[in-house]
A and B are shown apart, each in its own frame.
Chain A
Amino acid sequence: QITLKESGPTLVKPTQTLTLTCTFSGFSLSTSGVGVAWIRQPPGKALEWLALIYRNDDKLYRPSLKSRLTITTDTSKSQVVLTMTNMDPVDTATYFCARRPTAGSHPDYWGQGTLVTVSS
């Protein structure tokens, strides 16, 4: 059974760094083509892909946010961590992690999401 679950703070202050963890089970990032991505959704708005990690250490970032994002993995714990620096109120959103099952494909399994509010 494939599951993913996000964890992290629900409230961060402007200019702070956000660290989110995705803990997954039922698959391995060591499998060729498999990846874990982060996607966010501001309240009432559309989905926005942020970052992807695959082959344990290959990474892709949304170009407009690349300077603020870092995605890493801890394979021993089956976790993927996303850090986003210099948080702003516009970054308030539900943050999801999701699995990419094969190279060049779509996300199939998603976590439940975690709402992060940026406010002083």
Chain B
Amino acid sequence: EIVMTQSPATLSVSPGERATLSCRASQSVSSNLAWYQQKPGQAPRLLIYGASTRATGIPARFSGSGSGTEFTLTISRLQSEDFAVYYCQQYTEWWTFGQGTKVEIK
């Protein structure tokens, strides 16, 4: 099983600041990496796939980078609606998810 490890577990950021979230795979997943946003009581929302392609309707302040085993999600200027939990997911070998990073208001 490919294990996905996200860091940090919690990120405290002020509105308007940049947030950088990391995701590491236990073995190479090439660019088969997606990022999701999840708010309480809601289903995950697809943000990024192919490591760096924004999904339809996702604002440009969300960007993804990386390949192989190291990936990053950057939110350039946090807005109030961006405070949520973010998950990375690999889809090279079935599907496995990271444990999530909670982005909270500082």
Contact = CB atoms under 8 A, between A and B. Distances in A.
Interface stretch (B15-23, B41-49, B69-77): B41-49
B55 A108 contact: yes
B7 interface: no
B97 A106 contact: no
B89 interface: yes
A107 B106 CA distance: 31
Contacts, number: 49
A60 B94 contact: yes
Interface residues of A, number: 22
Contacts of B91: 104-106
Nearest to A101: B49
Contacts of A49: 94-97
Nearest to B89: A106
A108 B95 contact: no
B14 interface: no
A28 B72 CA distance: 34
Nearest to B6: A46
Contacts of B100: 46
B96 to A, nearest CB: 7
Interface string A22-36: 000000000000000
Contacts of A14: none
For the complex of A and B, 5 pairs with smallest distance between CB atoms: A110-B43, A49-B95, A106-B34, A47-B97, A46-B99
Interface of B: 1, 32, 34, 42-46, 49, 55, 87, 89, 91, 94-100
Interface of A: 37, 39, 45-49, 52, 60, 62-63, 96, 98, 104-108, 110-113
